[in-house]
Amino acid sequence: MGWLIFLIIAVAVVASVLWTRKYFRHEIDRAKRINRSNKNQ
């Protein structure tokens, strides 16, 4: 029973990571660009 709960949690974590990447990709890219430009100064 324990492994089933672990499996459900693992699937939920993977799904949330994929969803976050899909919806916040442009925000993450923008933050990376800002950080890069700050380091270059």
Q: What is the pLDDT along the chain (41 residues), one digit of tens a residue?
A: 899 999 999 999 999 999 988 888 888 888 889 888 888 77
pLDDT given at position 8: 97
pLDDT given at position 20: 86
pLDDT given at position 40: 78
28-34: long-range contacts, CB 8 A cutoff, minimum separation 24: none
Instruction: Please report, for residues 9, 21, 25, 27, 31, the alpha-carbon distance to residue 37 in angstroms, rounded to integers and kept in the order given.
Output: 38, 22, 18, 15, 10
Q: Which one-letter DSSP state was computed for residue 6?
A: H
Instruction: Please report, for residues 2, 4, 5, 18, 36, the alpha-carbon distance to residue 33 in angstroms, rounded to integers and kept in the order given.
Output: 43, 41, 39, 21, 5
To the question of pTM greater than 0.85 for the whole model, the response is no
